[in-house]
Amino acid sequence: MTLIPLISAIMTAPETTTAPAGAATLSPRNSYGSEHSRHPVAALLAVGLPAALVVAVALSPMIMEAPPKSKPMQGTLIELTKPLDPPPPQPSEEVQPTEKVASATDAVKPIVDTSSLSDNRVDEGPVVVDLRPIDPGPPARPADPPPAPRLVFAELDPRYAGAFQPDYPASEQRREIEGVAKVRVLIGTDGRVKAVELVSTDSPGFFAETKRRALAKWRFTPATRGGVAEESWKVMTVRFEIRAA
């Protein structure tokens, strides 16, 4: 880096000349025609200065950063145990050759003697008699189904027999009308009448009084099937007669 300052000092330093005595005027330093003897030096400096700068830059040392130093790797030494040698193989028992029993070429006597194919005789076997088909007879009669449980019909409960007769209708009694009312009643499992249907009657009043009394007062022993109570219908006939006082 010492060549560049030197060249700079040469270029910037002023050239001092002493004017001869009696000179009227001093010509400029760099004016045309003055000091013709220094022109070769100026040309040399004009050409050599750029070359010197290029050489100085090329020869100047370059600043380089030192690469970072890596830390040495640290490790732990692990000692490996040497594997044990495998045990020597046990000597195998010698296989004794088995005795030859028979070979494919050995002649074997058949269990059953067969006749020669050239023989024309026929072997007679046991005689099989064809049996006639056996008559199975008539088809078996299917078993009878078990009998259904017997139904026991509902009956009027004798304990309520006194409340059976309905009241005589007043209009029919005034007109001295007698007759009957036949009704069909539905008896529940508790013995009470659940519904009343008209079968026949001699007067509408007779049916009205019979229906009212049946729903309110009539009691029956319910019908049963196999000992189990069930609902049933029963036809009842009621007579209306005017009795003399």
The pTM of this model reads 0.42
CATH annotation of 151-240: 3.30.2420.10
CA 192 to chain centre: 59
pLDDT at residue 19, as a whole number: 43
Inter-residue contact 178 to 240 (CB < 8 Å): yes
Residues of the chain with pLDDT under 70: 1-50, 52, 54-89, 91-125, 129-130, 245
Residue 43 region by backbone torsions, left for phi larger than 0, else alpha for psi between -120 and 50, else beta: alpha
**What DSSP state is assigned to residue 192?**
B
Question: With 0-12 CB in 10 A as exposed, 13-18 as middle and 19+ as buried, what is 60?
Answer: exposed
pLDDT at residue 56, as a whole number: 64
pLDDT at residue 184, as a whole number: 97
Please spell the DSSP secondary structure of 93-113, one letter per residue. Answer: PPPPPPPP---TTS----SS-
Return d(Cα 173, Cα 164) in angstroms, integer. Answer: 19
Q: Is 201 helix (H, G, I), strand (E, B) or coil?
A: strand
pLDDT at residue 15, as a whole number: 46
Q: For residue 4, which of 56, 59, 62 has the smallest C-alpha distance?
A: 56
| 198 Cβ contact list (under 8 Å, min separation 6) | 181, 182, 183, 184, 207
pLDDT at residue 155, as a whole number: 95
Return d(Cα 49, Cα 12) in angstroms, integer. Answer: 13
Return d(Cα 165, Cα 219) in angstroms, integer. Answer: 12
